[in-house]
Structure 1
Amino acid sequence: MIISGSRKAPSGGHIVLIALFALVAGLSGLMTVPPLDRDESRFVQATTQMIETGDYVRIRFQDEERNKKPVGIYWLQAGSVLTFADVEDRPLWAYRLPSLLGAMLASIFTYIAGCALFGRRPGLAAGLLLAAAPVVMGEASIAKTDAVLLACVCGMQAALAWMLTSEMGKAQYRIALGFWAAMGAGILIKGPIAPAVALFTLAGIAIFQLERKDWWAFIRHLKPVSGVLLLLAMIAPWAIAIGIATEGRFFAEAVGIDMLSKVSEPQESHAAPAGAHFLLFWGMFWPAALFILAAGRHAGERWKEGPFFFCFAWLVPMWLLFEISQTKLPHYPMVLYPALALICGQLIATVPEVKYRGLRAAGAVIYAIIGLGSVAAILILANHFSTAGLTIWHYLGAALICVVCLGASVLAIIKRSGPALAAAIAASALFAWGTFEGVLPTLDRLAMTPALAKMLDAHEAHPLKDNTGPIALVGYSEPSAVFTLGTQTKLLRPKEGALWLTTAPNRAIVVEERDELAFLSSFPEGRMPVRIASIEGFNYSKNRNIRLTLFRLSAP
C-alpha cells in the first residue's frame, strides 16, 4: 500500500445520517429564494433554451453563445426539469435539484474518503461538517455548477484514497474506473478544476514516495489506459460536437477568456488580494472554525503520515493557486474544504480532549464571534431591504441560533468535542433555514424581477402567463428577467424601445427611471405612451435604487 490508512468499511447507517442531514440543510431556500444570483439566472435560462429548442449541444443565452462552462450542469438541470416539472412554469426548484443532490453526494463521499484514511468516526464528523458549511448549503440551493463539481471532486478523491490505502497487488479496477468517471463528470461540469485537484494530489503522493525505488509504481493503481479511454468516451462526443457547432469558439473563449484571464486579471469586479480566501474561510466554513486551529496544529505535527499528507496534497497547492489568482469568489476553494473537514474530523474523533486546550478555546471564541456577527448582519439586511421590517419571529430565530452557537463554544471549551460538533452543525443548519426561508424571501426591495413579474401579471402583460407576446425592457437587463419573462424578452436601448412599442398594437414595455427621459423624447407629439404602473426597489448588482415603469401606447 502507498498510504497506511484505516480502511474501515463505510456504515450504511452513517451514510443515511449524513444524507438526511445534508438534505435537510440543503433544502433551505430551494423552493422559496428568488433568483437573486445573476449567474444562476444565466445557467437556468441557458438550460431553458436547450429544452425549448431541443439543441443539447450549444449553450446560449438568448441569441448569444455562452462559451464559459461545459455542458454537464445544463444536461442535469434539463433532465430534472423534464422529469419533475413543466419548463413553461419556470420551476426554479427543479433546476436546483442537481445542486442539492451534489451537496448530499459530496458529504457522503467525504465520509467514504474518511473511512479509508482515518476511520468511520472521523469520516462521519467530516461528512457532517462539510454538509453544514454555509457555502455548501448555499450552493446546494442555487442552480449553478459548484455543488455538483464538489460531488465530483469528493467522489474522485474518495476513490483515490481507497486505491492508495489498498495492497498494491489487490484488484481495484472498479474503484479506479470510479476515479476516472468522477474526473470525467467534473470536466463536463467545470472543465479543469477536478483534473487539477487530482494532478496536485498525485504529485504530492509522488513526492511522498520519492524515497522508494519504485515511487512511480502507484500509477498502476489508477489503471491509466482504461481511465483515459473512459475519459475520452465521456467527453469527446460533446467536445467534438461543440467544437464543430461553434467553429472552435467555445474552447477559445472558455479557456482563453473564462479560465486563464481570471488568473491574470480580475473579472466582473471580483478582485481581491492574496489571503482573501483565508479570511473568507472562517465564515464560509463556519462550523469548522470551532476545530480548525487545533486540527491544523495536530495535522501539522503528523504531516509525514500518509493520511495527513494526502489531505495536505489535496489542500495546499490548489489553495495557493486560488490565492494568487486575480479573480476571487467565496466559493472557489469549496472543492478543498473536504480536506479540512477530514483533519477536523480526525481531531474530533480520536485526539484526547486535553491536547491543544489553548487552541480549542481560541477556536471556540472565533466561532462564537463569527456566529453572533453573522446573525447581526442578517438582521440588519432584513431591516434594510424588507418593507415589512423585523418581526418578533426574526428576533426569536436569532436568539435560538445564538444560544445554540454559544452552547457549541462552551462545549468545546469544557472538552466535549462530540456534543460541540452536534451543536455547531445544528446552529449552521438553523442559520441556513433562518436566512434562506425566514429572511431572503422577505427582502422584497431586492427581489425586483419577481415584483416585475407580479406587476405585469396584474396588468395582463406577462408574456408567459397572459399570452401577450414578448415584453421589452429598457434599462433593466437582469438575466433573471429573461428567465422569468421568457426567452423572447427584448433588452433594448431607449430609442429602440420606443420604435418597438410603436410597430405593433397591444405591446407593453418596461423602462427604468434613468432611461425614461430618453425613451419618452423618442416619441412624436400626440403619440406619447401611457404609464400603467411602477415598482421600486434596489438593484444590488448595480448598487443603486431603481424604479421600473410599465408603459403602453394606450391604456387597456
Structure 2
Amino acid sequence: MRRGPSVWYEFIGAEGFHQMKSPIAGGNGRAAPLYTQRGLRLPDRIVELFDLGCGSHRRACLFLVVLCLVALLPGFFSIPPVDRDGARFALISRHMVETGDLTETRLGWEAKRTRALGLHWFQAAVVKAADLVGVPDAHTRIWLYRLPSLAAAIGAVLLTYWAALAFIHRRAAVLAASLLASSVALGVGGRLAVPEVFLLGSVAAMMGALGRLYLAERRSGPAGNWDQSPHEARLALAFWAALAFGLFTKGLMTPLYLLLPLAALLAMDRSALFLRRARSYPGLGLLVLVAGGWFLLRRYAPPETQDEFVMRTLLGQVAGAYRGFTGLPGIYTLLFFALFWPAAPLAALAAPIVWKARRIGSVRFLLAWVVPAWLLFELLPTKVPAYVAPTLPAIAILIGVAVERGALALGNMRLTRVLWLWPLIGAVIAVAALLGMAVFDRTTSVLAWPLLLVGFFALVVAAGSVRDYGIEKSALVAIAGMLVSGFGVMQLVLPNIESFWMAPRVVAAAAREPCGAEAGDIEVGIAGFNEPSLALLLPDAPRFLDGAGAADFLKAGGGCRVVFVERRQEPRFARRAEAIGLRIQRGADLRGFDYNSLREVRLAPYRRG
C-alpha cells in the first residue's frame, strides 16, 4: 500500500495531494468545488442542481431516478417493437400469459429451452396485471413488456452509486452513476424488453459487495484471528443474492463476470483470504435454490399439451435471436466510444492515470472488474456489444476516482482534446438519425432540429470550456446536451422513420382488409419476413411461411385470410398459386428497410380473387 499514494502525488502534485481524500471512503459528500464566473449561466444552474442532488443519500437517489427517467422515457412508449431480441422476449412472455405455461421459452419450431425465466416472469406479471386493470389490448402493447427493463435500468444506476461509495465519496459516486445513466448502452437496454440491464445491475451489486469485503481485508493487515462482523455478513448475503438474481434473469453468463475478476485478484495478490468475508450460508442456500429450481423446471416441467404444441408449431420459423457479428480484436474498444458516450472520452482521458495507480487497492479491484472480461471478449471471434456492458459501472467509478483525486484536472490536461469527441459523436448520431429519415422516408422532423442544435451547442461548450469549467462541470454540461439531443432523436426522429418499422404497417394493412362480419377474425400469413415483432403486434398469431406455403395457406382459407409476400418469395408463390388453381388479388406494396439484414424489403399483400 505504500506505493499507492505516491502515484497520485506524482500526477496531481503536492497541493492537490494534500487536499485529496482517501479513495476508501464512507458516504459523506465533499464540498462543491469553486467555479469561475465566466461563461453561460445555464452551466452554473446545472451544477447547482447537481450540488442539490449530492446533499444527502436520499437526494442522490432521487436525483439519479429523475435523471434515468429523463434519459429513458423519450421513445419508451412510441418506438415500436425492435427486432430481434426485444420482440422475441416479449413474444415468449405473451405466450406465457396466453397459455399459462411459465416454463415454455420456445418460439415456433425451436427445439431447445435454454433461456433464463426471470425476465419472462416479470413481463408476464406486468402484462397480466395491466389486463386485469383494463388496459386495452395489453398483450400487444410493447411498452408494458419494457417496464421491467426500465425498472432494472434505474436499479442498475442506483446500485452503481452504491458500489461507487466503497471507493469514492458521495459527490464522485453520483457523478459516476450519472455517467452510466446517460450512456447510450443503458439507454438502449432500458428501452428494450431484454435481460441485459438485469445483468448490469446484478454485477454492480455483486461487485459492490465484494469490493467492500476486499478492501476490508486489505485494511485488516496480516492474517490472524478473524470473525465476520454483522455488516460483513449482510454484504456477503447481498453478494450471493445478486449472483442468484443474475442467474434467475440472465442465466449462465452471470458467473463469468465474477470468476474473471476473482482470477485476476488471486493472480495479483496471491491470496484468497478476502473470500472468507464473503461466507454466507443463507446466501449460498439462495443461490442453490435458484439454480436448482431452474434445473428442475427445465428438466421436469409439465409436458407441452397438444394445443400448446400446435399453437407453437403453426407459428413457423421465427427469426432467430441476435448472435452477434464476427470481428477482429479491438472492435469492442472502438464500439466503446458509442456504447459509453458521453462518458467514453472521460474514460480515455483517465485511462493512463488509472493504469499508473493500479497498485492502489481500490483501483486494482476496479481494473480486475474490467480488464479480464474485456480482454476475453476482444479475443473471442463473435462480438456481442452487450457482453461488455457489465464492465461499464466499474469504468464509471474509475472516472469518479480520477475526478475526485483531482488527477484529471491537474495531471492530464494535455489530453483534453479527446473531449472534442463529445460534439463529434453527438453530431454523428444526430446527422445519422436525420439522414435516415430523409433517405428512407423523404421527410424530416422540424421539431427535432432545434433540440439537436441545442444539444450539439451544449456539447461544444462542454468540450471547449473544460479548462475554465473543470472536468466535473464540463461532464455535467455534456450530459445535459446528450439529454436534449437524445430527446430529439429518440422521441421525434426514430419512432417516425416508418421504413424501419414494417411490423406496425403490416398490422395496419391487415386491419384494413374488407372482411364480412360472418368471416370472423382475419388470419395473416407472411412469407419472407419472419420477424417476431409482427407476431407480437397482431391480435392472433400469424403463420410464417415460404412462398409456396403462403399460396397453400390462402387456398385453404374459408374465412378472411391475407398473405404478405416478400419480393424474393413472389416467384415461388406465383408458381404454386398457378399449380393449385388459386385466383389472387394483389394490394399496394409496403416498402421498408430491414435493419437486421441491412436490405430493402417490399411486401405485397395478396387475397383470394
- Report the TM-score when normalising by structure 1: 0.89
Tell whether 2:58 aligns with 1:8.
Answer: no
Change over 3 Å in CA distance of 1:195–1:121 after alignment to 2: same
- Which of the residues 496, 499, 504 maps onto 2:549? 496
Tell whether 2:263 aligns with 1:203.
Answer: yes
What residue number does 2:350 align with? 295
- Which of the residues 513, 518, 521 maps onto 2:572? 518
**Superposed counterparts of 1:158-197, under 5 Å:** 158-166=208-216, 169=227, 170-171=229-230, 172-197=232-257
Per-residue CA deviation, residues 193-243 of structure 1 (Å, 9 max, x unaligned), is 321212222333334543xxxx33222211154432210112211221212
Superposition deviation, residue 539 in structure 1: 2.0
- Which of the residues 588, 591, 595 maps onto 1:540? 595
**Superposed counterparts of 1:72-91, under 5 Å:** 72-85=118-131, 89-91=139-141
Local SS of the residue matching 2:213: helix
Q: Hey, what's the Cα distance between the residues in 1 that align with 2:347 and 2:367?
A: 14
Question: Residue type matched to 1:491 in 2?
Answer: F
Tell whether 2:438 aligns with 1:378.
Answer: no
Change over 3 Å in CA distance of 1:365–1:239 after alignment to 2: same
Q: Hey, what's the Cα distance between the residues in 2 that align with 1:417 and 1:535?
A: 50
Contact 1:470–1:486 (CA under 8 A) maintained in structure 2 = no
Change over 3 Å in CA distance of 1:461–1:61 after alignment to 2: farther
Contact 1:520–1:528 (CA under 8 A) maintained in structure 2 = no
What residue number does 2:414 align with? 358
What residue number does 2:197 align with? 147
Superposition deviation, residue 246 in structure 1: 9.7
Of 217-226 and 26-35, deviating more is 217-226
**Superposed counterparts of 1:421-440, under 5 Å:** 421-440=475-494
What residue number does 1:399 align with? 453
Change over 3 Å in CA distance of 1:523–1:370 after alignment to 2: closer
Local SS of the residue matching 1:69: coil
What residue number does 2:384 align with? 329
Per-residue CA deviation, residues 1-40 of structure 1 (Å, 9 max, x unaligned), is 9x97213267111111111101221112210111233111
Tell whether 2:173 aligns with 1:118.
Answer: no
Contact 1:290–1:409 (CA under 8 A) maintained in structure 2 = no
Superposition deviation, residue 526 in structure 1: 6.3
Of 19-28 and 124-133, deviating more is 19-28
Per-residue CA deviation, residues 343-364 of structure 1 (Å, 9 max, x unaligned), is 11122233152321112x1221
Of 292-301 and 444-453, deviating more is 292-301
Question: Residue type matched to 1:193 in 2?
Answer: M
Structure 1: gaps spanning 5 or more residues: 248-265
Local SS of the residue matching 1:471: strand
Q: Hey, what's the Cα distance between the residues in 2 that align with 1:379 and 1:194?
A: 38
Contact 2:345–2:421 (CA under 8 A) maintained in structure 1 = yes
Question: Residue type matched to 1:6 in 2?
Answer: A
Tell whether 2:174 aligns with 1:138.
Answer: no
Contact 2:499–2:591 (CA under 8 A) maintained in structure 1 = yes
Q: Hey, what's the Cα distance between the residues in 2 that align with 1:82 and 1:517?
A: 43
Q: Hey, what's the Cα distance between the residues in 1 that align with 2:541 and 2:433?
A: 36
Per-residue CA deviation, residues 289-314 of structure 1 (Å, 9 max, x unaligned), is 33223321221121111110111010
Local SS of the residue matching 1:511: strand
Superposition deviation, residue 439 in structure 1: 1.1
Contact 2:507–2:537 (CA under 8 A) maintained in structure 1 = yes
Question: Residue type matched to 1:531 in 2?
Answer: R
Contact 2:146–2:190 (CA under 8 A) maintained in structure 1 = yes
Tell whether 2:83 aligns with 1:37.
Answer: yes
- Which of the residues 53, 57, 78 maps onto 2:103? 57
Superposition deviation, residue 385 in structure 1: 2.1
Question: Residue type matched to 2:575 in 1?
Answer: S
Question: Residue type matched to 1:187 in 2?
Answer: L
Contact 1:349–1:418 (CA under 8 A) maintained in structure 2 = no
Q: Hey, what's the Cα distance between the residues in 1 that align with 2:280 and 2:591?
A: 58
Superposition deviation, residue 461 in structure 1: 6.5
Tell whether 2:511 aligns with 1:451.
Answer: no
Q: Hey, what's the Cα distance between the residues in 2 that align with 1:89 and 1:192?
A: 29
Contact 1:159–1:176 (CA under 8 A) maintained in structure 2 = yes
What residue number does 2:332 align with? 277
Of 289-298 and 16-25, deviating more is 289-298
What residue number does 1:251 align with? none
What residue number does 2:206 align with? 156
Question: Residue type matched to 1:336 in 2?
Answer: T
Contact 1:462–1:471 (CA under 8 A) maintained in structure 2 = no
Tell whether 2:142 aligns with 1:92.
Answer: yes
Per-residue CA deviation, residues 428-455 of structure 1 (Å, 9 max, x unaligned), is 2223222211111111111111111111
Tell whether 2:65 aligns with 1:19.
Answer: yes
- Which of the residues 538, 559, 571 maps onto 1:485? 538
Contact 1:295–1:344 (CA under 8 A) maintained in structure 2 = yes
Q: Hey, what's the Cα distance between the residues in 2 that align with 1:437 and 1:452?
A: 22
**Superposed counterparts of 1:244-323, under 5 Å:** 244-245=300-301, 268=323, 270-323=325-378
Question: Residue type matched to 1:408 in 2?
Answer: A
Superposition deviation, residue 542 in structure 1: 2.9
Question: Residue type matched to 2:96 in 1?
Answer: M
Local SS of the residue matching 2:377: helix
Superposition deviation, residue 137 in structure 1: 0.8
Contact 1:386–1:443 (CA under 8 A) maintained in structure 2 = yes
Local SS of the residue matching 1:399: helix
Contact 2:584–2:607 (CA under 8 A) maintained in structure 1 = yes
Contact 2:422–2:478 (CA under 8 A) maintained in structure 1 = no
Tell whether 2:283 aligns with 1:230.
Answer: no
Q: Hey, what's the Cα distance between the residues in 2 that align with 1:8 and 1:137?
A: 28
Contact 2:510–2:524 (CA under 8 A) maintained in structure 1 = no
Contact 2:83–2:531 (CA under 8 A) maintained in structure 1 = no
Question: Residue type matched to 1:494 in 2?
Answer: G
Q: Hey, what's the Cα distance between the residues in 2 that align with 1:218 and 1:408?
A: 42
What residue number does 1:263 align with? none
Larger radius of gyration: 2
Per-residue CA deviation, residues 82-131 of structure 1 (Å, 9 max, x unaligned), is 22345654110010111111111111111111111112122111000000
Change over 3 Å in CA distance of 1:267–1:553 after alignment to 2: closer
Per-residue CA deviation, residues 249-307 of structure 1 (Å, 9 max, x unaligned), is xxxxxxxxxxxxxxxxx984611111000001011111223322332122112111111
Contact 2:85–2:322 (CA under 8 A) maintained in structure 1 = no
Q: Hey, what's the Cα distance between the residues in 2 that align with 1:15 and 1:458?
A: 48
Contact 1:118–1:307 (CA under 8 A) maintained in structure 2 = no
Q: Hey, what's the Cα distance between the residues in 2 that align with 1:66 and 1:331?
A: 23
Local SS of the residue matching 2:194: coil
Q: Hey, what's the Cα distance between the residues in 1 that align with 2:118 and 2:111?
A: 16
Superposition deviation, residue 467 in structure 1: 5.5
Change over 3 Å in CA distance of 1:72–1:459 after alignment to 2: same
Structure 2: gaps spanning 5 or more residues: 2-21, 29-55, 221-225, 304-320
Question: Residue type matched to 1:488 in 2?
Answer: A
